[in-house]
A and B are shown apart, each in its own frame.
Chain A
Amino acid sequence: MIITFRKAVDADIDFITDGIIQAELSGGTVLPYTALFNISREETISLIHAIMEEDIEGQEWFLPGFTILEVNGQPAACLNNWIEGNAGMGSGLLKAQAMSWILKEKWKQAAQKLEWLKTLQLPRIQTAMQLECIYTKSEFRGLGLASKLIEHCIKETSTSPAPPKTAEIQLLGNNESALHSYTKCGFLLREQITSARPEILTLLAHNTRVSLVKPL
């Protein structure tokens, strides 16, 4: 098994979109954006593509921010990483700004649901390395590829001119296997929040959000 790493290119957009969708599903059946904005899965894919085309650095859906792990020349896993706040605005604001711009009325109509989501918001650590959209294709699971990809990206970021002091991963609390895998990589629980709003479960697979950190 030959493992290689490379930065994502335009041709990876479908693989990465699959990864984002699976990461958003978080093992559940509810795709948050379809429930939130009353849009179809295809429209969600178009939304992800539209935001990627805007090339907005410092947030989850920035294509050049993704690293691809290949097994024998085939894309097997991906993740996105950025330094929170380096782009000026926080990643949440950047993504929301782009989404509202693209969705317009549908964004406004989702105001109530967005308020529910706020009850499950954990502020990301400023200047920390953020790891998001961590995804391994089903046929490559159980090989520790996500851990290898995380270690590779941390190592790469640590050699940058101004390396971050902390890495952070945020995920939903139901994702036990991911939690176990990140803990094995040296991540520790920083904070967790549980929403008391029952409506959250109509939008997300779980009502608890977890922040894990690793000192670098």
Chain B
Amino acid sequence: METCEIRLQLGNIFDSVFHCGNIEITDELTAEQVEKWDSLTHLTMIAAVESHFGIRFKLKELIIMKNTGDLVKLILEKKQSV
């Protein structure tokens, strides 16, 4: 699975969780830049990502995530290790 494909699929998940429409998934994108991205929707998004990509995150992995780029990287690593 390629980075751009993950970004595309992540865009659909963000859209359904944050109802944010045409959001551009960049590596620098953070919660502060998306209106409905708060502590509750964040956890819904993480659960949706886990279910969609068939992966499980560890708490340590989640808390060091600084932006969407880190999330994409983490998904890629997990998919490659399967």
Interface string of B53-82 (1 = CB under 8 A from A): 000000110111111001000000000000
CB contact list, A82-105 vs B, under 8 A: 85, 87-90, 92-98, 100-101
Which of A56, A107, A121, A126 has a CB less than 8 Å from the CB of B63? A56
CB B28 to nearest CB in A, in angstroms, measures 12
CB contact list, A108-139 vs B, under 8 A: 111, 114-115, 118, 121, 126
CB B60 to nearest CB in A, in angstroms, measures 8
- Would you call B31 and A121 a contact (CB within 8 A)? no
Contacts of B46 in A (CB 8 A): 97
The distance in angstroms between the C-alpha atoms of A101 and B66, with both chains bound, is 18
- Would you call B66 and A89 a contact (CB within 8 A)? yes
Contacts of B70 in A (CB 8 A): 88
A118-B38 contact given A88-B66, A97-B43, A98-B59, CB 8 Å threshold: yes
- Would you call A90 and B31 a contact (CB within 8 A)? yes
Chain B CB within 8 A of A54 CB: yes
Which of A56, A89, A98, A100 has a CB less than 8 Å from the CB of B31? A89
In this complex, the member of A89, A121, A126 whose beta carbon has the largest number of chain B beta carbons within 10 angstroms is A89
- Would you call A96 and B63 a contact (CB within 8 A)? no
- Would you call B38 and A92 a contact (CB within 8 A)? yes
**Residue ID in chain B nearest A57 by CB atoms:** B63
A92-B39 contact given A97-B59, A101-B59, A126-B32, CB 8 Å threshold: yes
The distance in angstroms between the C-alpha atoms of A98 and B63, with both chains bound, is 8
**Residue ID in chain A nearest B38 by CB atoms:** A118
A97-B42 contact given A54-B59, A88-B66, A90-B32, CB 8 Å threshold: yes
In this complex, the member of B39, B59, B66, B67 whose beta carbon has the largest number of chain A beta carbons within 10 angstroms is B39
Query: Using a CB–CB distance below 8 Å, which chain A residues touch chain B?
Result: 54, 56, 85, 87-90, 92-98, 100-101, 107, 111, 114-115, 118, 121, 126
Query: Using a CB–CB distance below 8 Å, which chain B residues touch chain A?
Result: 31-32, 38-40, 42-43, 46, 59-60, 62-67, 70
